[in-house]
Amino acid sequence: MTPWIKQLLMGLCGTALIATAATAFADRDRGHRGEGFHGCSKSWMHDDKARAEFRAKRVERISTEIGLNDAQKQKLSTFFHKLSEQHKAMMGDSKGRHERIQSLIEGESLDRERAQALLNEKAARVQSNSPELIAAAADLFDSLNAEQQQKVREFVERRHGHRDHRPKADPAG
């Protein structure tokens, strides 16, 4: 693995680790009331059956929006399943996560070696699941016709394009 990719992965994982710690700290009162964001119960996030139902609803909604056939719907479902597995790998064991993060800051300074070890573990888990996720995404996208692919591109631009503050390249050259 090239050094810049390794640094990028470490940076992303470090950011995720810090974001997880900040979210756990900031959201602690809401969790005691049994509420998640938008007043929803957080329990569905930990329930495989509820997550599967949510995934099935997303597959149906997206299938309707871009006009998927049954084979494409199955590929979309597979993609969401792989995405869920990748999320689980990224998040790790949720029961001990808070304690592991808290243990990093128990002393007078941050335990850098333990933080790096946690980050390396997370990067290894993400990297090991990435080929399957990429293959599922490629299988899905490659199965779409040109019109469906364009709808996906437009959705991504609408949904995430506002975050890109770089100037657009001039197509005229």
pLDDT tens readout for residues 39-70: 445 555 567 788 788 888 888 998 888 899 99
User: Do residues 20 and 101 make contact, with C-beta atoms less than 8 angstroms apart?
Assistant: yes
Report which of residues 65 and 163 the model is more confident about: 65
Report which of residues 126 and 139 the model is more confident about: 139
User: Do residues 15 and 41 make contact, with C-beta atoms less than 8 angstroms apart?
Assistant: no
Place of tokens 């602690």: 28
Question: Has this prediction a pTM greater than 0.85?
Answer: no
User: How many degrees, rounded to 5, is the angle at CA 125 between CA 119 and CA 130?
Assistant: 120
Tokens standing for residue 125 = 């888990």
Q: For residue 110, what is the DSSP state?
A: -
Q: Please give the pLDDT value at position 75.
A: 92
Of all helices (H) and strands (E), which one includes residue 117?
helix 112-143
Task: For domain 39-156, give the fold.
Answer: Four Helix Bundle (Hemerythrin (Met), subunit A) (1.20.120)
Judged against a pLDDT cut of 50, whether residue 108 lies above it is answered with yes
Average pLDDT for 127-140: 88
